[in-house]
């Protein structure tokens, strides 16, 4: 059920997105790492009578393009791109949905965008709890050089991951996820480029919660009971500051959670 596949150019960036449904309300969705906008098809079908759904490809995923890997996009630039797209579409109010890494994008938009936000749907959202390993890979210059080296020389990374598994610093599920995402040159390049491009997108959880509270924006959060990547503990810095929210924990893992939410009998948004 794809109505349109479209592109939007803003300065040196090109966003690709799919438009689903024909509802009077607008829902904008951002997927997780290693996915593309197609992953919201099942959710869009579920909501198509109420919403027109716009699912965007993240940079370095699908057909969206940005200038290069090493130039980080700032929260203000990210917001400016989406605000410019909204202006071109003549849309003045939206709801937002983010899965995994897309949750970080959505929360950044909540914090920085001037558009009126009606509802927020977070599915196993990344970006709430600061991750030490992510910071080490993206911020210190020496660590970025080492990380780039692993694109063509993955031995160091694989040895490190195995060691962290043996000393129980990393969960086995996270180790499997990391190894899968780094098992080819193209995948390792995607990891490097994505992390570097989005390294400045770090939502201020306190400001996000304040905006949700002030404007009384309803928030629903879905987690997987067997998800070892995003847990109830990792999202607690946000939900403990939000006055009103709904939290649902499905008897699922991480990777198929968008489809799992769409299949929920009592799901509504």
| pLDDT of amino acid 140 | 67
CB atoms within 10 A of CB 3: 14
Confidence tier at 71 by pLDDT (50, 70, 90)? confident
194 or 188: which carries more pLDDT confidence? 194
Q: Is the pLDDT of residue 85 over 90?
A: yes
Confidence tier at 185 by pLDDT (50, 70, 90)? confident
Structure tokens given for 176: 């499997």
Q: What percent of the chain has pLDDT over 70?
A: 86
109 or 173: which carries more pLDDT confidence? 109
Mean per-residue pLDDT over the chain, rounded: 88
pLDDT in tens, 111-136: 999 899 999 999 999 989 765 555 55
| pLDDT of amino acid 213 | 97
pTM, entire model = 0.88
| pLDDT of amino acid 170 | 61
Q: What percent of the chain has pLDDT over 90?
A: 65
1 or 119: which carries more pLDDT confidence? 119
142 or 237: which carries more pLDDT confidence? 237
| Residue 100 to residue 34: CA distance in whole angstroms | 11
| pLDDT of amino acid 153 | 75
3-state secondary structure the chain: CCCEEEEEEECCEEEEEEEECCCCEEEEEECCCCCCHHHHHHHHHHHCCCEEEEEECCCCCCCCECCCCCCCCCHHHHHHHHHHHHHHHCCCEEEEEEECHHHHHHHHHHHHCCCEEEEEEEECCCCCCCCHHHHHHHCCHHHHHHHHHCCCCCHHHHHHHHHHHHCCCCCHHHHHHHHHHCCCHHHHHHHHHHHHHCCCCCCCHHHHHHHHHHCCCCEEEEEECCCCCCCHHHHHHHHCCCCCCEEEEECCCCCCHHHHHHHCCCCCC
| pLDDT of amino acid 99 | 97
**CB proximity list for 254: less than 8 A, separation 6 or greater:** 100, 124, 173, 177, 224, 226, 227, 228, 229, 230
The answer to whether the beta carbons of residues 168 and 162 sit under 8 Å apart is no
| pLDDT of amino acid 50 | 94
């Amino acid at each position: 059920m794809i109505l349109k596949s479209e592109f939007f150019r803003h300065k040196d960036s090109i966003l690709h997105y799919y438009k689903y449904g024909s509802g009077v309300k607008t829902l904008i969705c951002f997927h997780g790492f290693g996915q593309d906008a197609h992953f919201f098809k099942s959710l869009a079908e579920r909501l198509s009578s109420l919403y027109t759904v716009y699912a965007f490809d993240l940079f370095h995923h699908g057909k969206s393009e940005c200038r290069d890997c090493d130039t980080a996009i700032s929260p203000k630039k990210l917001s400016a791109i989406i605000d410019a797209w909204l202006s071109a579409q003549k849309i003045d109010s939206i709801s937002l949905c983010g899965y995994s890494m897309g949750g970080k994008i959505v929360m950044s938009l909540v914090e920085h965008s001037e558009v009126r936000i009606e509802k927020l749907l977070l599915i196993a959202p990344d970006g709430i709890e600061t991750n030490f390993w992510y910071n080490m890979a993206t911020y210190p210059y020496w660590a970025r050089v080492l990380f780039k080296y692993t694109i063509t020389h993955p031995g160091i990374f694989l040895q490190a991951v195995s060691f962290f598994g043996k000393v129980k610093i990393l969960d086995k599920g996270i180790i499997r996820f990391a190894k899968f995402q780094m098992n080819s040159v193209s995948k390792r390049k995607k990891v490097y480029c994505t992390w570097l491009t989005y390294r400045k997108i770090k939502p201020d959880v306190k400001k996000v919660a304040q905006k949700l509270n002030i404007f009384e924006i309803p928030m629903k959060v879905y987690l997987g009971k067997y998800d070892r990547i995003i847990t109830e503990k990792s999202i607690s810095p946000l939900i403990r500051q939000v006055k009103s929210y709904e939290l649902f924990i499905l008897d699922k893992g991480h990777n198929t959670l968008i489809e799992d939410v769409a299949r929920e009998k009592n799901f509504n948004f």
